[in-house]
Amino acid sequence: MPRHPKRPRRLVADGRAYLWTLRHTHHMTDGSQTCRETLRLHPQPAGTGGSLRIVFTQGPGRFVPGGAPLGSGDVGYSRGASLNLHEPGAVRALLDAASARGGAAGGGPDGDDRRLVPAGVGSRRAGRERPRGTDGSAALTRGPVQFSRIGLGLRLCGSSTLAGMRIRIVDAFSTRPFTGNPAGVVLLDSDAFPDTAWLQQVAAEVNLSETAFAHPLPPGGDADWALRWLTPAAEVNMCGHATLATAHVLHTTGTATGTVRFRTRSGVLTTTASADGAITMDFPTAPLTPVEVPPAVAEALGCEIRSAHDTGPDVGDLLVELADEQTVRALAPDLRALAGHGGRGVIATARAEDPAAGHDFVSRCFFPAVGIDEDPVTGSAHTALAPFWSARLGRAALVGLQGAARSGHVRTELRGDRTLLTGSAVTVIDGELLATG
């Protein structure tokens, strides 16, 4: 039996907020089990519109509990395809379908158990034409269209909540596909994270520098979502690009708008989306402590190090300043030798040769100790790079360029013990996670 939330949860769709609940019932017909799941949507604030009951069935029998057919305001679906409530227009089409049945949900039985389906909402029937109304709105078709999954990260009728889950690959700190830093993003629909071993297996399978896992939190708390980051080999305390990727998915799917607060190992981290799609993250500024230059690190990098700083427990890297931009770009370090230095790894940085080129400093990040030879664009590293270079360049707002073959820009703004990191992202893969581990 899937673990579905018993208390209402929040959904933002088509620019409007709803609370939703989902419950199971089962019925035996001629010795065969039919599962019925009822999703209820309640517009928010309360009283701003009628609630909607959406009925999903799966199984061989016609399931009408107590002999009562669907209410006049109900919308019914049966087994096979998928309904994604985050798709633009999906909830609107459902409300239109309910209106076509006779008004608000619970308006009374109509006696014919019709199933009215908004055309174009998640249907996977191959070759099926999706009619449109004369005004371009979703037309309605009749008949038992196949449905088996709601697009809220849920699996209907006895399957695991982990199976059928959406998983996305997002290129962070970039406006173009195949640039920036890719991250996996998995939005969970549960009150807690699955077993850490399963999360680690998924991160290893994705095999990107980080995969982010997030689940919604109850309303009224200090955060909206719980968020964790895992590399292919270990969990980390902070990750900027996977946080950016997660916020991007929440906003582009309509799951969230405006500001989103994440509860993480590093405290509550806030992200805010702007009209142009860029996302600003509010992270704690890394405390920089000067340390002696480790000779082994200079040897592993193959160049002279001007200064070295510890970046504190959240970032956990050794930040080293090199002579110039070309030295950073030309690095070909001994990664095995680097693996024993810095909690997570080493950040190599230098002042930009030509500020007119659009960046103030450059960096590269090597994290072999956590399974990442080189991270293309590292948001968390910029919580250390921002105070380091702001002190030397005399400006709070800077632009960093990170990476070699695959690079990206990070806009930083130092605000005392907080650092704002701004970047864009683009989703390049949107798929389905089938394995439960």
Residue 156 lies in a domain: no
Nearest to 111 by CA among 62, 55, 53, 71: 71
Within-domain flag for 421: no
78 shares its domain with 132: yes
Q: Is residue 121 part of a domain?
A: yes
Whichever domain contains 249, its CATH number is 3.10.310.10
Can you spell out the DSSP letters for 317-366? EEEEE-S-HHHHHT----HHHHTTSSSSEEEEEEE-S-GGGS-SEEEEEE
Nearest to 429 by CA among 244, 249, 188: 249
Q: Which of 163, 144, 153, 122 is nearest to 57 (CA)?
A: 144
Q: Is residue 195 part of a domain?
A: yes
Pair (97, 169) in one structural domain: no
If asked whether residues 266 and 199 sit together in one domain, one would say: yes
Q: Is residue 139 part of a domain?
A: yes
C-alpha 394/C-alpha 396 separation (Å) is: 7
pTM of the complete model? 0.65
Could you give the CA distance from residue 379 to residue 381 in angstroms, rounded to a whole number? 5
In which region does residue 355 sit, left (phi positive, over 0), alpha (psi from -120 to 50) or beta (all else)?
alpha
Residue burial 86-103, b: 16+ Cβ < 10 Å; e: rest? bbeebbbbbbbbbeebee
Do 229 and 244 reside in the same domain of the chain? yes
Reading the chain (437 residues) residue by residue, the pLDDT tens digits are: 334 444 566 666 666 676 766 665 555 545 455 555 566 667 766 655 556 666 655 444 433 333 334 444 455 544 333 455 555 566 666 666 655 544 433 333 322 223 333 333 333 333 333 333 333 322 222 222 223 333 333 332 222 334 458 899 999 999 999 999 999 999 998 889 999 999 999 999 999 999 999 999 998 999 999 999 999 999 999 999 999 999 999 999 888 989 999 999 999 999 999 999 999 999 999 999 999 998 999 999 999 999 999 999 989 999 999 999 999 999 999 999 998 776 789 999 999 999 899 999 999 999 998 888 999 999 999 999 999 999 999 999 999 999 878 899 999 999 999 999 999 999 999 998 887 65
Encoded tokens for 24: 């199971």
For the record, the structure tokens of 144 come out as 């038992």
Dihedral over Cα of 116, 120, 121, 122: its sign: positive
Name the residue range of residue 343's domain. 289-416
Q: Cα torsion for 217, 222, 225, 228, to the nearest 10°?
A: -120
Give the chain's end-to-end CA distance (angstroms, integer): 17
The pLDDT assigned to 340 comes to 78
Domain boundary among 150, 181, 213: 150
Catalytic one of 210, 321, 325, 374: 210
pLDDT at position 404 is 75
How many domains is the chain partitioned into structurally? 3
Residues 298 and 411 in one domain: yes
Strand ranges (DSSP E) for 50-118?
Answer: 52-58, 75-83, 116-118
327 and 395, same domain (yes or no)? yes
Is 160 a member of any domain? no
| Known catalytic residue at 210 | yes
Residues 24 and 110 in one domain: yes
Q: Are 317 and 346 in contact (CB under 8 A)?
A: yes
Same domain? For 304 and 377 the reply is yes
Task: Please check whether residues 295 and 403 belong to one and the same domain.
Answer: yes
In a domain, 266, yes or no: yes
b/e code 374-400 from CB counts within 10 Å (16+ = b): bbbbbbbbbbbbbbbbbeeeeeeebbb
Question: Is the same domain home to 297 and 206?
Answer: no
- CA–CA dist 364, 374 (Å, integer): 7
Could you tell me if residue 155 is inside a domain?
Answer: no
C-alpha distances out from residue 114 to 65, 97, 140, 326, Å: 15, 11, 12, 69
169 and 198: one domain?
Answer: yes
Question: Are 201 and 262 in the same domain?
Answer: yes
